[in-house]
Structures are given as structure tokens and as C-alpha cells.
Amino acid sequence: MADDSPQQPPSPLEGPGLRASQEELDELWGLIENGDLDDAIALGDELAETWPRDASIAIARAAAFYECGLLRESLEEARRAGELDTDEPQMASWYEAAAHHYLWDFGAARAKADELLRDHPDFGEGWYLLAQICEMQEDEVGARRGYERALQLEPQRFFRPTRFSLEQMDEALSQAREGLDAEFLEALEKIAVVVEALPRREYMLQSPGDDDPLPPDVLGLFVGNSRLDLSVFDSTEEPGIIFLFQKNLERASASEEELVSEIHTTLYHELAHYLGFEEEDMAELDLE
């Protein structure tokens, strides 16, 4: 005798309800790739509530949080994706390692990147991330190996950082000064410019007690009060400092010409901060 009782549909934790549809995933990744990150996070939250065991949703949410700079949230989602039955374990591991890196936890980042590359030795993006982590750990051999391996695996995507000697950096800075207009050149006379190999965490804390430092791959940084914050009574105010981080600038440049241009742009950008321009003003100065 047939069972005519109503059949309850499967819950999201069992059977066909285990995973989101490909159309839902495509929509979520489309928002991320188009930079519609608020919408991506909202949709990701909705899909995660409906499909809590879908590792693909967790990876996409890790990506959306990462692109927004919500690194702790990205780390949590990446770990969750790794615990689920993901088809892309290398991506879960990459986001976990990258989140640790940008949170300045280089030991945890290195351990996860090493684990990732043991399991997926042909993952170019993993080698490139490892190279950056090695640089921050002052492991030059590991950094060179990582950059070379990434280039071998994906030559259309990665390139060797362009390296400058101290003399070449000085010459590039001289050229950058010559290209400044009067207002920026006058500002440059009031503050120091210091070239360092890489950032130090204490520079990246934007206020006392800050637990969210700026990322370790910043190209430059202005430290001090902007001209708008000073008054005629601030004669004892310490002069501001512009830091330029040479290895980060080199990593962003595929040629000597690009590196010279990047040095100029970064110096100009940080001088703009001293003059009181905010990040949202940089587009007007062609400095995004």
C-alpha cells in the first residue's frame, strides 16, 4: 500500500539541500569580482544561513571578507571551509595563510603556507604568498625561491620584483622631487623622507591601543600631523615623516621604469596626506 502521507523536503543539512546552486555561487562571485563587496557580504550571509555546510559558500565569504579588509572574519570562514568537504582545499588554506599574514602573524602564516605547498606544490599563488611572508621574516632565500617558483608556474601572472640599489633609490627620489609642483615641493621641505626595506608593526598602528595595524604590504606611510591639524601655536610640533618601503615598492613593479613611477606616485600620495587630503580625495589627484 502506497504511503500517501506528506513528504517533508530535505533540510539544508541533508540530501539535495547540502549545497547552493551554481547560479547562486556565480552571483556571489560576480559581486566579489565586480567590487560590490557590501552586496557580496549580504548575499554570502544569506546563503550561509541557508546552506551552512557548503564549503564553496565559506570560501566565497572568506574572499569577500578578505577584499573588505575584514581579516579575522576571512580567517574564520577559511578555517570553516577547510573543515568542510571542500573541492578547493588550496583556496581555503590560501585565505587562511593570507589572513594571518595581513594580521602580522607571520609564524602562523608561514606554517599554513608551508602546509598548503606540501599538499599543492604547483599552486603559484601559494608560492607568491610564501615569498611575501618570508620577506617579512627576513628569510631572503625563502623569498627568492617563492618568487622564482611562482614565476615558473604562472609566467603570465607573476614577475620578479625589480631590485634597486641604494644609489638607484636616491636617484629615483631625486627625479620624483623634480616632478613635484610648487605646493608639494614646499611641503617636502618641511618633512623627512625615510626609505626602509619593509614596514615595522609599530609604524602601522594608527592610534595608541590599536589592534588593527595597516597591512604589511603598504608602499608608503605618512606619520605625523597634517598641515590642516597644525596651528600657528604648534612651533614645537615634531616634524612629520614619510616612510617609503623599498621591497614593497619593488614587488609592485615589473620594470625599472615602473619602479621609478611607483616611487614618484607614492611620495606624492604621502605628501598629499601631509597637506590634508584624505584617501577619498586621491582620485582628484590621480593618486588612487
Reported as a single tens digit per residue, the pLDDT across 222-254 is 988 776 665 544 555 566 899 999 999 999 999
- Given this model, what pLDDT does residue 224 score? 83
Task: Give every CB contact of residue 3 below 8 A, 6+ residues apart in sequence.
Answer: none
In this prediction, residue 213 has a pLDDT band, given cuts at 50, 70 and 90, of confident
CA 230 to chain centre: 32
Taking residues 262-275, report their average pLDDT.
91
- Given this model, what pLDDT does residue 217 score? 95
The residue among 105, 287, 128 whose CA lies nearest residue 211 is 105
166-285 has the same fold as 18-120: no
In this prediction, residue 63 has a pLDDT band, given cuts at 50, 70 and 90, of very high
Amino acid at 115: E
Which cell numbers hold the place of 30?
560576480
How does strand 192-196 pair with strand 241-245? parallel
On average, the pLDDT of the chain sits at: 87
- Given this model, what pLDDT does residue 12 score? 41
In this prediction, residue 15 has a pLDDT band, given cuts at 50, 70 and 90, of very low
The residue ranges of every structural domain in the chain are 18-120, 166-285
Q: Three-state secondary structure along the chain?
A: CCCCCCCCCCCCCCHHHHCCCHHHHHHHHHHHHCCCHHHHHHHHHHHHHHCCCCHHHHHHHHHHHHHHCCHHHHHHHHHHHHHCCCCCHHHHHHHHHHHHHHCCCHHHHHHHHHHHHHHCCCCHHHHHHHHHHHHHCCCHHHHHHHHHHHHHHCCCCCCCCCCCCHHHHHHHHHHHHHCCCHHHHHHHCCCEEEEECCCCHHHHCCCCCCCCCCCCCCCEEEECCCHHHCCCCCCCCCCCEEEEEHHHHHHCCCCHHHHHHHHHHHHHHHHHHHCCCCHHHHHHHCCC
- Domain 18-120: give its CATH code: 1.25.40.10
- Given this model, what pLDDT does residue 17 score? 54
Reported as a single tens digit per residue, the pLDDT across 134-182 is 999 999 999 999 999 999 999 999 999 999 999 999 999 999 988 888 8
CA 191 to chain centre: 28
- Domain 166-285: give its CATH code: 3.30.2010.20
Residue of 190 and 103 predicted with greater confidence: 103
Taking residues 91-97, report their average pLDDT.
98
Which cell numbers hold the place of 34?
565586480
